[in-house]
Structure 1
Amino acid sequence: MVSGIARAILTYRGFILSSVKREFQSKYRNSMLGAAWTVLNPLAMIVVYTVIFAQVMRAKLPGVDSTFAYSIYLCAGTLTWGLFAEITGRGQSVFLEYANLIKKISFPRICLPIIVVCNASLNFAIIFGLFTAFLIISGNFPGWVYFAVFPVLVIQILFSIGLATILGVLNVFFRDVGQFFSIALQFWFWLTPIVYPAAILPDNIRPMIAWNPMAPIIQAYQTIMVNGAWPQWMALLPVTILSIALCALGLQLFRKRSGEMVDEL
């Protein structure tokens, strides 16, 4: 099944790349600032959170003793969470979004989640590249430890695309799934240590964070960017296993229901 999907992606790579290019261009067509909006939207959020939370959180972040360092902590969490939110948010509605194309043209439907991931990754590459440049210019680049970001990123993308594929298929048959997940995603953000460290939570709440699969991923990014240290790889093992399981389940669900989806669109 995996080899068949790989062949389909290679065969239809032109379709995938042209779709990514078309979506990127249409997103910023007739816009004076163009791709700058990719940076401005999360930047505005980071500024607001920094202004509101910096004075409160600064003294409570382990090893962080300045508002500037807290901003890096916040960027590391917010920007990477944005990638997860974009993949899952678009992924849960991608089959509905491309309903007309699915009905008219015969192509491997699995290409659609791949298009979502490619688009989200392109947006992420732009803003995270600028964030990296800022770290270098400001003298806060973590050094060789920075490259630990890439295996963490692979784990995050696997988790995101596995979850997005499951949600996308279910949302075709049960439209409430998309509405529910949009609400759940907002709660999920605040239950993840992004604007606060898990250490400041009450003792009876802290164990709940261990059940949040995004928590070790976000904490790994923050450890790399803020502390310049290698992440705790063993802490990422459970979410890695979960990510692989979600991808397998998503592919299995897609394979069984892909024929029925056309009738439901």
Structure 2
Amino acid sequence: MVTDTPPGMEIKTKQNGLPPFSVAAQWPRTAMNEQQWNIAGQRWAILRQVYPQEAQAWVEAAICHQKCGNHDTAESLLRTAMEQFPRHAGVAAAQIRHALICGKMEQADQLARAARDMFQRNLQVLHASAQAAQYCGKMEEALALNAQARTLFPEEPQAWEQYAELAMAAEDWPLALKRWAEVRVRFPKIATGYERAAVAANHLGDDRLARQLKAAREFGHQWLESLHQQNPLPAEEMKAPARSSFFSFVDLVLTKAKMNLKSEASQNYLRYLWWLIDPLLYMTVFYIFFGLILHRGGDNYLAYLLTGLVPFQWFSKTVQQSSNSIVAGKGLMHQVRLSPLFFPLVSIFQNLGKQMLVFIMLALFLILVDLPPTVYWLGFLPIFFVHLTLIVATSCLVAMIVPFIRDVAYLVPTAIQFLLFCSGVFIPLESIPEAWRVLFLVNPVANILHQYRLIFVHQSWPAWELLGWLALGASLALVFVLLGYRRLKSTFPRVVLE
């Protein structure tokens, strides 16, 4: 006996009102999604009493009974539904599919013909009729019915998926791959366009294409098509040079980073504005504490503070988000042959995309506080690229260590906080005793913040010698990290599962 009720149902019934059927239907569908077919069937039974005018309550209840093996009950439900809703195409289509499930091919064929006479231009009926024709061995009729569905409903993925499945049923794997490619172009977010195509690729013995298709489900069909454009030959004839593989990898990283940015923005009401609001709030807190409460600095202290905080926040956020990226990506690593370097690089470029807007906001602020652009701002480009090299080297190094020593991930935030107070973010370089300044600038983060302040606040050229040594050190560190990834490439998939 089921005693639970849909959320809000009891309250609304007492008020002589009911929630919309689409809302109430989520109650049994939740059980269906969890494959709790008995519970779902009982819930549909309750909704049939509350919403007697809704044919879908009968159809989906029949599906639940089919899953439980209660075919007689399912047939009885559909027969009753057809009596109550004789002009409902969904009920007619469900009857056809039920006959196919029960192995009653002739009955399914008869029901399909009767349904088409009654509903001549209905997608559900055409789809079920094509299924019936396929199961009865009438492939030409199935293709003709499917073609009619695709012509009448070109924007519905159901018809195009069936078009590809017909090729799968005929075991024409090259044709199936071609049709699934068309499905992906028309409906890039439909998972079956990638999953079922991967099955066809496996049947052809093309494991590499199957892995690419599985990866493309997450990274988008554009990336997959770009691979095909670069490697148009069949798999057995394909010998892509290392240069092509490198650009394919870079394209994959950029595509994934772009998709992550869009996904991140879509989850917020203010969307892309949060990329500006978040650092603005962060900087406001520190200015209130150090500038207004502690009365640190003097003229242009706010500009001095922001030119330190903005680059430092870019460094800190990227390193923290990248640190656990390889461990977080272990599922994909075991599905697709990807370099572990892929995962931290996605986080790096994802944060780079947001940081460009923050730098633009910083430039506008400097103009407002009477620090307009000068020729010295040209020094931003070399500083920026050295800074980016430092971020890539540090982020990839930490991400490489974490799978082997998981505790490092917990130390990263503390280390970042330590750097915040040891890199001159809040205090001018001039306040440090001259004897200690060289040692202070050995800290690469302090060095890079000093360079930004030279061009933006002091309006002078960067300290080229200091910047050069930093560029050399960051480049050597990056080479060391890349060699480490190359050496440990085959070890990561095993380590991340331990």
Query: Which TM-score bucket, shorter chain as reference?
Result: 0.7 to 0.9
Deviation string 1:34-76 (CA, Å, 9 cap, x unpaired) is: 12221122211222222222253224xxxxxx2xx21111111
Alignment counterpart, residue 302 of structure 2, candidates 71, 74, 78: 71
Alignment counterpart, residue 264 of structure 2, candidates 27, 33, 37: 27
> Quick check: 217-226 or 114-123, which moved more?
114-123
- 1:123 Cα deviation from its structure 2 partner: 0.8
Deviation string 1:139-167 (CA, Å, 9 cap, x unpaired) is: 42231211211111111111111122121
1:96 matched to which residue of 2? 327
2:273 matched to which residue of 1? 36
Whether 1:215 aligns to 2:460 is: no
Instruction: Say which structure, 1 or 2, has more relative contact order (CA 8 Å, 6+ apart).
Output: 1
2:346 matched to which residue of 1? 115
Whether 1:11 aligns to 2:248 is: yes
* Structure 2 unmatched runs, 5+: 1-240
Whole-Å Cα distance in 2 between the matches of residues 214 and 108 of structure 1?
28
Whole-Å Cα distance in 2 between the matches of residues 113 and 44 of structure 1?
26
Deviation string 1:64-121 (CA, Å, 9 cap, x unpaired) is: xx2xx21111111111111111222222212112111111112333333332221111
Residue type of the alignment partner of 2:273: A
DSSP 3-state at the match of 1:35: helix
> Quick check: 28-37 or 164-173, which moved more?
28-37
With over 3 angstroms needed to count, the CA separation of the structure-2 counterparts of 1:165 and 1:146, relative to structure 1, is same
- 1:240 Cα deviation from its structure 2 partner: 1.3
1:63 matched to which residue of 2? none
Whether 1:240 aligns to 2:471 is: yes
- 1:137 Cα deviation from its structure 2 partner: 4.8
- 1:172 Cα deviation from its structure 2 partner: 0.8
Residue type of the alignment partner of 1:125: M
Larger radius of gyration: 2
- 1:31 Cα deviation from its structure 2 partner: 1.2
Q: Is the 8 A contact 1:220 1:231 kept in 2?
A: yes
Whole-Å Cα distance in 1 between the matches of residues 345 and 400 of structure 2?
14
Q: Is the 8 A contact 1:91 1:161 kept in 2?
A: no
With over 3 angstroms needed to count, the CA separation of the structure-2 counterparts of 1:204 and 1:146, relative to structure 1, is closer
> Percentage identity across aligned positions?
18
Q: Is the 8 A contact 2:322 2:344 kept in 1?
A: yes
DSSP 3-state at the match of 1:140: coil
Whether 1:47 aligns to 2:284 is: yes
- 1:217 Cα deviation from its structure 2 partner: 0.6
TM-score of the superposition, structure 1-length normalised? 0.88
Moved over 6 A (4+): none
1:171 matched to which residue of 2? 402
Alignment counterpart, residue 480 of structure 2, candidates 234, 240, 249: 249
Whether 1:189 aligns to 2:420 is: yes
- State the Cα RMSD in Å: 2.1
Whole-Å Cα distance in 2 between the matches of residues 137 and 200 of structure 1?
26
Q: Is the 8 A contact 2:333 2:340 kept in 1?
A: yes
DSSP 3-state at the match of 2:315: helix
Whole-Å Cα distance in 2 between the matches of residues 213 and 30 of structure 1?
35
DSSP 3-state at the match of 1:173: coil
Residue type of the alignment partner of 2:328: E
Residue type of the alignment partner of 1:57: R
